[in-house]
């Protein structure tokens, strides 16, 4: 194990040095590697230091245990807000989003080995990178609407670039995708069998170049084209495009209910149920976020999402984020009481507020450094 750049918390983030390669290992296996503030700051220091270090050519990201990373540690954020101020949450998300931006615009290749669970903040530290490798045990989701939040970490950038209106479906329904689905829709660049992952890693550790084509060539030697399962949501793109292209959440649900009345497809019923269990406020701000993300750079998406998340934490219109965390993460009764409880009670003016500046003299918009790149291309294999 190598020493971390100064100030990084070495318990929760481990670094291996092999020649020109640095392997960053998220190390909170009992918490499914949920990103703590210390991990985010450690990763920021590593990415910043290694970009300037000519001896470092390639970064590998992985998780210890059965998860890559199950998301940001939002339970800790909520505890800190309840004990102090929403500003603690603002600092947490500011640093996380800055990390996402640096990864999205990084000049050296990053290979993320997405074995196990990849959700929320875990997607933020991997899917913005150059190479994303899934396996047969990968489970991806952006489950934020069930938590009273919205898909953040720049998700409005990468989800809005998926085929058709698949991004709206993944965002609103909190849909779980497997490794083959991530590969097919473009969230992943490669699919490698789990038992071949250690061999791939050993080959990558011998790399002495930052040439992305050379790195891609190595991963190609271990990867193959997986086939989609019969019940994959990607086999229902026609229905998804028909329903999730609608202008409002109410119209999306109505279109799905129309589909349900014409077919006995369990997938349609399950999708309707997911939407009806989610926070109405979250659904509305998430839909608008994805739609705006389609025409924005990754930096513009992150700046807008930072405004949104600060409004969520202040709880001016709705405290659904705190209620969702209580019901899903703390008490675990899985029975949140959303306020307002119905979609029609979430008016356009309320949605609009989430996209405005925070009315607080001490608050600042997310300030991102000037970088050469504007984010990755998401290439569907469909």
Q: Are 137 and 114 in contact (CB under 8 A)?
A: no
Active site (annotated) includes residue 152: yes
Residue carrying the six token digits 């976020």: 289
DSSP 237-299: HHHHHHHHTSSSHHHHHHHHHHHHHH---HHHHHHHHHHHHS-HHHHHHHHHHHHHHTTS-HH
User: Which entry of 96, 144, 168, 201 is annotated as an active-site residue?
Assistant: 144
**DSSP assigned state of 358:** P
Active site (annotated) includes residue 144: yes
User: Which entry of 73, 96, 152, 259 is annotated as an active-site residue?
Assistant: 152
Active site (annotated) includes residue 72: yes
Q: Are 80 and 89 in contact (CB under 8 A)?
A: yes
User: Which entry of 42, 71, 116, 121 is annotated as an active-site residue?
Assistant: 121
Active site (annotated) includes residue 84: no
Residue carrying the six token digits 């994805």: 290
User: Which entry of 63, 72, 120, 375 is annotated as an active-site residue?
Assistant: 72
Quick one: CA torsion of 206, 211, 212, 218, rounded to 10 degrees? -30
DSSP 70-131: --B-HHHHHHHHHHS-HHHHHHHHHHHHHHHHHHHT-SS-EEEEE-SEEETHHHHTTTTSSE
Q: What are the catalytic residues?
A: 72, 121, 144, 152
């Amino acid at each position: 194990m190598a020493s971390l750049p100064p100030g990084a918390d070495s318990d929760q983030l481990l670094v291996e040095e092999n020649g020109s390669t640095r392997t960053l290992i998220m190390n909170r296996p009992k918490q499914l590697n949920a990103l703590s503030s210390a991990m985010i700051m450690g990763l920021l220091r590593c990415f910043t230091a290694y970009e300037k270090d000519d001896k470092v050519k390639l970064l590998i990201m992985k998780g210890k245990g059965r998860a890559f990373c199950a998301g940001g540690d939002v339970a800790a954020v909520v505890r800190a807000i309840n004990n102090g101020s929403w500003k603690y949450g603002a600092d947490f998300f500011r640093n996380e989003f800055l990390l996402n931006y640096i990864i999205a615009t990084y000049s050296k290749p990053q290979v993320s080995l997405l074995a196990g669970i990849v959700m929320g903040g875990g997607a933020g530290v991997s899917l913005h990178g150059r190479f994303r490798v899934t396996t047969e045990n990968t489970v991806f989701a952006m489950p934020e609407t069930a938590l009273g939040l919205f898909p953040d970490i720049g998700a409005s950038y990468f989800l809005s670039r998926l085929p058709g209106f698949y991004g709206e479906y993944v965002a609103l329904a909190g849909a779980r995708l497997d490794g083959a689905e991530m590969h097919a829709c473009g969230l992943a660049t490669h699919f490698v069998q789990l038992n071949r992952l250690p061999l791939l890693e050993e080959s990558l550790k011998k790399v002495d170049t930052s040439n992305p084509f050379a790195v891609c060539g190595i991963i190609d030697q271990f990867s193959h084209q997986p086939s989609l399962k019969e019940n994959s949501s990607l086999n229902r793109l026609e229905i998804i495009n028909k329903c999730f292209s609608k202008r409002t959440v109410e119209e999306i649900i109505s279109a799905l209910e129309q589909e349900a009345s014409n077919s006995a497809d369990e997938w349609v019923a399950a999708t309707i149920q997911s939407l009806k269990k989610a926070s109405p406020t979250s659904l509305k701000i998430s839909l608008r976020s994805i739609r705006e993300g389609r025409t924005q750079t990754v930096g513009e998406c992150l700046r807008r999402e930072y405004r949104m998340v600060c409004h969520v934490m202040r709880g001016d219109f709705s405290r659904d984020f705190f209620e969702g965390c209580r019901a899903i993460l703390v008490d675990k009764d899985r029975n949140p009481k959303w306020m307002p409880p119905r979609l029609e009670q979430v008016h356009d003016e309320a949605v609009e507020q989430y996209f405005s500046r925070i009315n607080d003299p001490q608050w600042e918009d997310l300030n991102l450094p000037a970088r050469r790149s504007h984010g990755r291309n998401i290439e569907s294999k469909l």
